[in-house]
């Protein structure tokens, strides 16, 4: 039974890493699109990502999503230890 719990936890952690990677790649594509649109409109690339907000991109794209994976992994580890 304990082996199944460890296996399930491992699968969950791997799934969260994959989800985090997917979200990161998706946000990267959106940021690249925003940067290219900025360049097309203004003739040059932005000097900072903040130059894209709010006209070209929402600030939420620049927020890290790693906390989600870390938080869930810590919670799973706590349950396994207890």
pLDDT digits (tens, 9 = 90+) for 7-42: 988 888 898 888 888 877 887 888 888 888 989 999
The CA distance from 82 to 49, in Å, is 43
The CA distance from 26 to 34, in Å, is 13
The CA distance from 60 to 1, in Å, is 41
Question: Is the distance from CB of 52 to CB of 33 less than 8 angstroms?
Answer: no
pLDDT digits (tens, 9 = 90+) for 43-76: 988 887 778 888 888 766 666 555 555 555 556 5
What angle is formed at CA 52 by the lines to CA 44 and CA 21, rounded to 5 degrees? 110
């Amino acid at each position: 039974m304990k082996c199944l719990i460890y296996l399930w936890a491992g699968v969950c952690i791997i799934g969260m890493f994959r989800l985090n990677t997917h979200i990161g790649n998706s946000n990267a594509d959106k940021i690249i699109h925003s940067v290219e649109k900025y360049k097309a409109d203004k003739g040059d690339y932005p000097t900072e990502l903040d130059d894209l907000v709010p006209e070209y991109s929402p600030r939420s794209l620049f927020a890290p999503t790693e906390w989600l994976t870390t938080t869930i992994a810590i919670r799973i580890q706590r349950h396994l230890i207890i």
